[in-house]
């Protein structure tokens, strides 16, 4: 392409010289000396030489680029692949400065199978039919694991599920009304533009953790039912009902009891967790558990996950200096609720004031302010691990803690990026961009 472009300029430059000559005194019959003619002839010779050198340089660049493209598969084999098990950072961190390690429970220490989403979905739809009198046909709905992803937003006013990019614009293929994907024209008709402004954002609610998968699917299925049945409905009512149903199955303990009734189906064992916690303890680090789940649920799950380690099965709490359950995050980070000591034998909360954390004791509720006053742990020496970007990580960050996000999707994303086809496409795109950039420089000379 570049060499052809230079060649097309040759006739243009010759025409310029011809024009100059046609208007010169020589063409008008005025006698001039041979020296002037030699100057014109020398200029033409220099121009032709320059053009030939440029063409030769372009040909060399083209041959080099072609050879680089041919050699890309070999180059890819030499390039290291990303490790899905690696730790990725966006800020420098010295691990030797960390003295305290905190952990969430759900999807951090405890990992669940995809069957959990089906359990939550089924319990919620049953509650909506029995308590909110939704049509009985809703009982036939099935959870679709291929539909929801984490990080969606639901528009309570318009009933759309959407994925927003970093700049707050709706992804071109990321807006659904019910189970139907909206076209870009439909998105513009509904919102005026793909960008969600501040006023429109007020009606959006985020679905940010794994427990929201069943919520997103149930919202879409119910909206789709009303659309198919040609029934009038208010999308904000549907959202409120789904949220109440999801909240009920969690707060009532239905989900917790369902998991503990069949832990092999819902919980995923990981022996590396125990080894990691023990390693931290052996190196003198302080550990704490901070979760919204009730103690009986955490206790049952930890016992199951550690049942193969008999020396730790009945004393998992000894791994932690502090265990806090039903913390009510994210309010935990901003409220001033007092801590209550939980009696595991009587299943009751004590009335004595908590001004210290005792070994093998379980604490409920509380707040960050009291936690820091009791432990005397400074922010920069504390790191907290969680899966929810807002309720788990935003609050601790404001307190000066270091934070680590457990992002399960990143592992599968890295596996995709490690595939040979994906790596070749990415390298090819980079190759063509560089080639076009060089071509543009030659064209503007």
Distance (Å) of CA 91 to CA 87, 94, 282, 413: 12, 10, 27, 21
Check if the beta carbon of residue 100 is closer than 8 Å to that of residue 382: yes
Query: Choosing from 74, 86, 96, 104, which is the catalytic residue?
Result: 104
Phi, psi of 121 (to 5 degrees): -60, -50
Q: In the structure encoding, which two tokens stand for residue 203, read together?
A: 């009606």
Query: What is the separation of C-alpha 431 from the centre of its chain, rounded to a whole number of angstroms?
Result: 27
Check if the beta carbon of residue 7 is closer than 8 Å to that of residue 55: yes
Query: Choosing from 86, 96, 106, 343, which is the catalytic residue?
Result: 106
Give the pairing of strands 100-103 and 382-386: parallel
Check if the beta carbon of residue 102 is closer than 8 Å to that of residue 382: yes
Cα dihedral 250, 123, 174, 395 in deg (nearest 10): 0
Between CA 88 and CA 39 the distance in angstroms is 66
Q: What is the DSSP string of 94-110?
A: -GGG--EEEE-TBTTTB
CA 245-250-253 angle, to 5 degrees, is 120
Q: What is the DSSP string of 333-384?
A: GT--PPEEEEETTTTEE--S---SPPTT-EEEE--HHHHHHHH---GGGEEE
E strand intervals along 97-151: 100-103, 111-112
Residues in a beta bridge with 8: none
Longest CA span, the chain: 121
Reply yes or no on whether 221 is catalytic: no
Residue 330 preceded by cis peptide, ω within 30: yes
Between CA 327 and CA 16 the distance in angstroms is 82
Between CA 209 and CA 325 the distance in angstroms is 19
Check if the beta carbon of residue 200 is closer than 8 Å to that of residue 154: no
Given phi > 0 = left and psi -120 to 50 = alpha, else beta, which region is 407?
Answer: beta
Check if the beta carbon of residue 293 is closer than 8 Å to that of residue 106: yes
Q: What is the radius of gyration, based on Cα positions, of the chain?
A: 33
Binding site: which residues?
A: 104, 106, 387
The tokens 């034998």 sit on which residue?
345
Residues in a beta bridge with 100: 286, 382
Reply yes or no on whether 104 is catalytic: yes
Binding site for GMP: which residues?
A: 106
Which residues have a catalytic role annotated?
104, 106
């Amino acid at each position: 392409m570049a060499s052809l472009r230079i060649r097309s300029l040759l006739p243009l430059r010759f025409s310029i010289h011809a024009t100059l000559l046609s208007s010169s005194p020589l063409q008008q019959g005025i006698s001039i000396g041979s020296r002037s003619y030699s100057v014109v002839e020398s200029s033409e010779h220099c121009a032709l030489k320059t053009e030939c050198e440029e063409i030769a340089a372009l040909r060399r660049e083209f041959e080099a680029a072609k050879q680089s493209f041919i050699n890309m598969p070999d180059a890819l084999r030499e390039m290291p692949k990303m490790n899905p098990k690696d730790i990725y950072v966006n800020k420098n961190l010295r691990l030797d400065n960390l003295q305290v390690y905190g952990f969430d429970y759900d999807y951090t220490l405890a990992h669940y199978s995809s069957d959990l989403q089906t359990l939550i979905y089924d319990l919620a739809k049953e509650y909506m039919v029995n308590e909110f009198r939704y049509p009985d046909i809703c009982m036939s709905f099935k959870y679709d694991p291929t539909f929801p992803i984490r990080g969606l937003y639901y528009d309570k006013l318009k009933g759309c599920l959407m994925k927003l990019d970093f700049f707050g614009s709706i992804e071109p293929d990321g807006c659904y009304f019910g189970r139907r994907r909206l076209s870009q024209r439909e998105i513009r008709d509904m919102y005026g533009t793909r960008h969600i402004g501040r006023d429109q954002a007020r009606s959006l609610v985020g679905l940010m953790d794994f427990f929201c998968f069943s919520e997103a699917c149930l919202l879409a299925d119910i909206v789709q039912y009303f659309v198919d049945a040609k029934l009038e409905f208010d999308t904000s009512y549907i959202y409120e009902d789904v949220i109440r149903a999801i909240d009920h199955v969690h707060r009532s303990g239905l989900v917790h009891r369902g998991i503990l009734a069949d832990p092999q189906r819902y919980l995923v064992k990981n022996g590396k967790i125990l080894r990691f916690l023990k390693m931290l303890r052996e190196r003198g680090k302080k550990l704490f558990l901070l979760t919204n789940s009730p103690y009986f649920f955490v206790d049952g799950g930890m016992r199951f996950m550690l049942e193969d380690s008999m020396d730790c099965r009945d004393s998992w709490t000894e791994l932690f200096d502090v265990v806090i359950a039903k913390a009510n995050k994210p309010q935990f980070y901003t409220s001033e609720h007092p801590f209550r000591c939980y009696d595991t034998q009587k299943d009751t909360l004590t009335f004595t004031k908590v001004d210290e954390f005792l070994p093998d004791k379980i604490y409920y509720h509380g707040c960050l302010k009291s936690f820091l006053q009791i432990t005397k742990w400074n922010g920069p020496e504390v790191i907290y691990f969680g899966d929810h970007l807002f309720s788990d990580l935003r609050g601790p960050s404001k307190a000066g803690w270091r934070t680590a996000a457990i992002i399960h999707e990143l592992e599968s994303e890295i596996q995709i990026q490690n595939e040979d086809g994906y790596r070749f496409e990415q390298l090819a795109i980079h190759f063509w961009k560089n080639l076009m950039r060089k071509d543009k420089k030659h064209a503007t000379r």
